[in-house]
Amino acid sequence: MLFSADQKVHVDKQGALKESLQTVDGTFQSERKRTLGLCDIQLNGFAGIDFNNPNLNPEDFHRSMQALLRTGVTNVLPTLITANQGDLYRNFEALERARAFSPIAQMMVKGYHLEGPFLNPAQGFAGCHPSQFMGRKPSWEKFVSWQAAAGGRIKLLTVAPEMPGVLELITKCVESGVRVSLGHTNASHEDIRKAVGAGASLSTHLGNGVAQLLPKVDNPILSQLAEEGLTASFIADGFHQKPHVLRVYIKAKGSDRTILVSDGTAASGTVPGTYYLGATKIQSKPEGVVHLFGTQNLAGSAATLLECLQNVMSWYNTSLEQGIRWTSIQPRKLLGWPTTQNVGDLAELLEWEYINDRWTPASVQLGTQIIKIH
């Protein structure tokens, strides 16, 4: 979805469009293009700030949203990973306080992603999540209490469908309007089919959150790739998958079922160093990889979604239109959110310029605010 780069954008005092934006098709030739802003459905922290902190400071969160906007993301699901029940509750309350404090966060944060705690605690599948808080029988009451703390804004829940009681939870979540994704899972093909039957619609960072060694003829990656009822998200930072492997995954899953996420952390959009992801210490290295402190195990990324988009455009010669489908349009569709810019919609726009043989973002507009990017 491209918008005409020539039409003037008129917004009211709240930043809502006074006129619908005209669309142009992918053959539109121009040195300037205009698209929707990026939409990151998995972001654990940004610019030195960890969202997985029950004592999250509203001013810090506001600053991290400002920094995120400067990378072209206008829409984000702050993501909480596995923690104990009380910490998750307090953390959602802290996010809601921070959101209420910051007008920019109110525009950017329309929901949250809860990745855990009903995941597979086995080594390799748990990834960097604290496995001591996994493996308990899920309860709808627990989820409802987190949802209440989150102001009803948990829009996406990642679960492992092989864990006892999870299929029932999927059904209830989907009935309540929450999208359910599969991740950190060692589910059989049968369990994955059942999860899709119960309403699961996404695979979270497919290809990661699994053991290093898997049975070659049947494993949860292949089962999810084969399942046409599942869209898949991938982390295109160059570390979670080698570019040639990601190419195979995207081909197998199909372009229309592909979403890119950053899985970024406090280490994203800032300098290499030591940061936290919840109670877990992580280390981002100068080459851009993030490890669980003192190990070689991946622990989220330091990439921005814009960098992931630019990676795929350079690795595979992906067009800007296609890349925007993976980083903006398809995540919004998954969540049931609009993908056009009509009268009354909040302006969420990226302007691109073709410079030195690549598309580069020139400015981002969110409501009345326009920020130059380069």
Residues within the interface to Zn ion (CB under 5 A): 209
Contact of 304 with 43, CB cutoff 8 Å: no
Min dist. Cβ of residue 183 to Zn ion (A) = 6
Min dist. Cβ of residue 101 to Zn ion (A) = 28
| Helices and strands (DSSP H and E) totals, the chain | 11, 19
Ramachandran region of residue 282, left (φ > 0), alpha (ψ -120 to 50) or beta? beta
Min dist. Cβ of residue 44 to Zn ion (A) = 9
Give per-residue burial for 36-50: e unless 16+ CB within 10 Å, then b: bbbbbbbbbbbbbbb
- The residue nearest Zn ion at its CB is 209
Q: How far is the C-alpha of 287 from the C-alpha of 266, rounded, in Å? A: 16
Min dist. Cβ of residue 208 to Zn ion (A) = 7
Q: How many Cβ atoms are within 10 Å of 144's Cβ, its own excluded? A: 12
* Between 37 and 209, CB nearer to Zn ion: 209
Min dist. Cβ of residue 128 to Zn ion (A) = 8
* Between 72 and 209, CB nearer to Zn ion: 209
Q: In 285-325, which ranges are E strands?
A: 290-292
Q: What DSSP element (H or E) covers 180?
A: strand 179-182
- β-strands 45-46, 49-50: how paired? antiparallel
Min dist. Cβ of residue 73 to Zn ion (A) = 19
Residues with Cβ within 8 Å of 117's Cβ and at least 6 positions away in sequence, in order, are 82, 83, 85, 88, 129, 133, 134, 136
Min dist. Cβ of residue 42 to Zn ion (A) = 8
* Between 66 and 208, CB nearer to Zn ion: 208
Q: How far is the C-alpha of 360 from the C-alpha of 353, rounded, in Å? A: 5
* Between 209 and 238, CB nearer to Zn ion: 209
* Between 209 and 361, CB nearer to Zn ion: 209
* Between 111 and 209, CB nearer to Zn ion: 209
Min dist. Cβ of residue 192 to Zn ion (A) = 17
318, 234, 37, 153: CA torsion to nearest 10: 160
* Between 2 and 128, CB nearer to Zn ion: 128
- Report the chain's C-alpha Rg in angstroms: 20
* Between 123 and 314, CB nearer to Zn ion: 123
- β-strands 273-277, 280-284: how paired? antiparallel
* Between 187 and 320, CB nearer to Zn ion: 187
The phi, psi pair for 346, rounded to 5°, reads -65, 135
Contact of 72 with 364, CB cutoff 8 Å: yes
Q: How many Cβ atoms are within 10 Å of 321's Cβ, its own excluded? A: 17
Min dist. Cβ of residue 86 to Zn ion (A) = 22
Residue 151 C-alpha from the chain's centroid: 20
Q: How far is the C-alpha of 272 from the C-alpha of 24, rounded, in Å? A: 40
Residue with tokens 């940061």: 275
* Between 209 and 323, CB nearer to Zn ion: 209
Q: Is 333 helix (H, G, I), strand (E, B) or coil?
A: helix
Min dist. Cβ of residue 352 to Zn ion (A) = 30
Q: How far is the C-alpha of 164 from the C-alpha of 127, rounded, in Å? A: 20
